[in-house]
Amino acid sequence: MMKTFDQQRDIMIREHLQGRGISDQSVLKAMREVPREEFVSALYVESSYGDHPLPIAEGQTISQPYIVAYMTEALELSPTARVLEIGTGSGYATAVLSRIVKTVYSVERLSGLAQSARQRLDTFGYANIVIHEGDGTLGWPEHAPYDAIVVTAGAPDVPHPLLEQLAIGGRLIVPVGKSCEVQELVRVRRVSEHDYRTEYLCGVRFVPLIGAAGWSGKGPH
Ligand code: SAM
């Protein structure tokens, strides 16, 4: 018999997340609370809990659950944190973040995706999320500084405006790479006004971050 989405979600938590080392209880709880099947297009809903990304509208993707959990854990979040997310996409990772922190500010460059994510998140009553349509490579200066910033698209370099909008002690997670084949997931920690510490976490594969401090409209070659 076909497993229910609740059963599939439990398997995802146990095998794909805990089984690969995700141990932050707040992240596991959030991943258990958010119904991923509501963020996936109708065509792929039966694959909602597969261990892989899925296509969404406008040629974009909803990230692999493990990667969402890994990036969220790497942000080292607390309940009082104010987080900036670049690349709202379906709003799934936005929803996960919102279950852990005080406020999520999320920027999406494609207005169709921003609008549908906003509508979807409104129906869940997730009230601590603000979505903005625009070029997230420039951050969202009005609400800076942020305790954590996560970029969910691959950048050619760490976008400078995001470094400036990070609080001292804050963490920025961003995929960085010179081609669309693969990026390195980078964590930058702002240790003082002018000092940043960079760590390389793992290899990843994301759609391109397109904007003034990202790739041009054509993406990487
Ligand atoms: N986390 C999302 C989810 O759970 O569905 C997946 C995000 S998808 C991998 C990357 C998103 O980044 C796409 O929706 C894309 O349009 C967006 N994006 C690319 N460049 C951007 C930019 N400069 N500013 C804001 N969003 C951008």
1 C-alpha to center of ligand 1: Å? 36
Q: Is the pLDDT of residue 218 over 80?
A: no
Residue 1 confidence class, pLDDT cut points 50, 70, 90: confident
Radius of gyration, CA atoms only, the chain: 16
pLDDT value at position 179? 77
* Ligand 1, residues at Cβ distance < 6 Å: 60-63, 86-87, 89-90, 92-93, 107-110, 113, 135-137, 152-153, 206-207, 209-211, 214
Q: Is the pLDDT of residue 31 over 60?
A: yes
Q: Is the pTM value of this prediction over 0.85?
A: yes
Question: Which domains occur in the chain, in start order?
Answer: 5-204 (3.40.50.150)
Q: How far is CA 148 from CA 71, 165, 196, 207, in A?
A: 11, 9, 14, 21
Angle, to 10 degrees, between the axis of helix 25-33 and the axis of helix 65-74? Answer: 140
Residues 107-117 pLDDT 10s: 999 999 999 99
3 C-alpha to center of ligand 1: Å? 30
Residue 180 confidence class, pLDDT cut points 50, 70, 90: low
Catalytic residue among 63, 90, 106, 116, which? 63
pLDDT value at position 2? 85
Residue 221 confidence class, pLDDT cut points 50, 70, 90: very low
Among 62-71, 96-105, 121-130, 210-219, which stretch is predicted with the lowest mean pLDDT?
210-219
- The C-alpha angle with vertex 81 and arms to 151 and 154, in degrees rounded to 5, equals 5
Q: Is the pLDDT of residue 176 over 60?
A: yes
Mean pLDDT of 28-53: 96
| Positive/negative CA dihedral, 41, 2, 26, 71 | negative
In whole angstroms, give the CA distance from residue 33 to residue 6.
10
Say whether 63 is catalytic: yes
| Cβ burial, residue 116 (10 Å; 0-12/13-18/19+) | buried
Residue 161 confidence class, pLDDT cut points 50, 70, 90: very high
Report which ligand 1 atom has the smallest distance to the Cα of 153.
10
173 C-alpha to center of ligand 1: Å? 14
Residues 52-95 pLDDT 10s: 999 999 999 999 999 999 999 999 999 999 999 999 999 999 99
List the residue whose alpha carbon is closest to atom 2 of ligand 1: 89
